[in-house]
A and B are shown apart, each in its own frame.
Chain A
Amino acid sequence: MADLMTHDVRFAGLGGQGVVLAGLVLGHAAVLDGLYASGASSYGAQARGSVALAEVRLSDEPIDYPHVEDADLLVALSQEGYEACRDRLREGGLVLHDLGLVKTADDGPRQQGYDVAAVARDELDSAQVANVVWVGVAAAATGWIGDDALREAVRLRVPERFLELNLRALEKGLELGRCGVKTKDGGGT
């Protein structure tokens, strides 16, 4: 049962990919934008290498049940993350996935691929910031949260010495999400 105007987002990746931060930035940005948000993360025992999930509910009303059950949006940063979550998607839900790292099922739900890991590595010189690029992509592709709120959330959540890099990563993501990139199923944004 989804409340009207509630969006359920799930970031899925491997420990070390920064999925938790992505969820935090998105949720915090939503609150800065005047929305209600709730967020929960889970990861396996290993700090690096097991599936990590970050789930965020966004709503314009107070949220009764704070966990995501079936998501409206799945952002898959790794194959394992995709496999673990592809069946927990609402009908009509959207899957955003990394073109280089995730091979999706051809008969899957609505999906759009972005070459985020490559963009982070090649254009930002930092594979580590792919997570924040994804926040930008997800926000721009859905239009659920304003750009300024996202920038402010990055400022509040990222340590000083990495701030400039992460802000650039966010802008890159917003750009990608807006323009669209050739996707597996042939559609644009």
Chain B
Amino acid sequence: MVRALDHHLRPEVKATPFCPGCGHGILLGLILRTIDALEWDIGEMLFVSGIGCAAWIPSPNYKADTLHTLHGRAVAFATGAKLANPALKVLVVSGDGDLASIGGNHLIHAARRGIDLTVVCANNQIYGMTGGQVAPTTPKGSRTATTADGNPYPPFDLCKLVKAAGATYVARGSVLRPYKLMDEIGKALTTPSFSFVEVLSPCPTQYGRRNRLDTPAAAMDEIRDRCRVRVEAGEAGSCAADMLFLGEYGDG
């Protein structure tokens, strides 16, 4: 059986390493579908990732140039790769802990500089690979391996952060709204200068299990219930503090 995305997947790789119910597998496919929809030659692209579950999206699955770097340093490596070879279309795919915690400084500087690269942040709001510790995107009050009594700190709004740092195109999507997300990734890829797409992706094994979301479906429902489409004309009325807005973050 030939699958639609086989031409982009390395034949040596038989399966993804993701847990059942993880959203990263969906994102893996959506990125490839977006590249095909844009009719881009994947051979002109470079995929850079850090350390964590999301960093295993492009590496080793994508049959393309992939650079699997150190924890938090994907954007820095990508900056160098792009500047030394501007013909490359560079896409950073990594997780929220990798990009916004240890990698936070590199992220805001690349945004400030307007380096022509696209960052897709797979946000599962926890440190998945290392066993479920708190992340800078974990909702306040959530249980994690290091916040047994509930996270005492509020999370970043990554889109606001990266926009304020100077990014040109910023959007938040989720794996539950795949077509909108493909649109957003497509726009990010085709925008010159620095673009950022945050993708909400459920982690049933680490986040879900600790927060009484006992099935992958429950983890997905939780994301659906906590997201609202951003009203371009202004913030929607009064919403719960941990509400996340989907959509593009334009100026103002």
Name A residues whose Cβ lies closer than 8 Å to a Cβ of B: 45-48
Contacts and interface: CB of A to CB of B under 8 A. Distances in A.
B154 interface: no
Interface of B: 17, 19-20, 205
Given A47-B19, A48-B19, A48-B205, 5 more contacts: A45-B17, A46-B17, A46-B19, A47-B205, A48-B20
A54 to B, nearest CB: 17
Nearest to B205: A47
Q: Is the interface of A mostly helix, strand, loop or mixed?
A: loop
8 contacts: A45-B17, A46-B17, A46-B19, A47-B19, A47-B205, A48-B19, A48-B20, A48-B205
A45 B17 CA distance: 8
Contacts of B17: 45-46
Nearest to A44: B17
A22 to B, nearest CB: 19
Contacts of B205: 47-48
Interface core residue of A45, A46, A47 (most chain B CB under 10 Å): A47
A53 to B, nearest CB: 19
A49 B205 CA distance: 13
Contacts of A48: 19-20, 205
Contacts of A46: 17, 19
A48 B19 CA distance: 6
A39 B23 CA distance: 34
A48 B206 CA distance: 12
B119 to A, nearest CB: 26
Contacts of A45: 17
A108 B119 CA distance: 55
A43 B63 CA distance: 28
The 7 A-B pairs with the shortest beta carbon distances in the complex, nearest first, are A47-B19, A46-B17, A48-B19, A47-B205, A45-B17, A48-B20, A48-B205
Contacts of B20: 48
A47 B20 CA distance: 10
B156 to A, nearest CB: 26
A45 B129 CA distance: 10
B16 to A, nearest CB: 9
B58 to A, nearest CB: 17
Interface core residue of B17, B20, B205 (most chain A CB under 10 Å): B17
A45 B18 CA distance: 10
Nearest to A48: B19
A97 B235 CA distance: 60
A47 to B, nearest CB: 5
A45 B20 CA distance: 14
Contacts of B19: 46-48
Nearest to A161: B212
Nearest to B128: A47
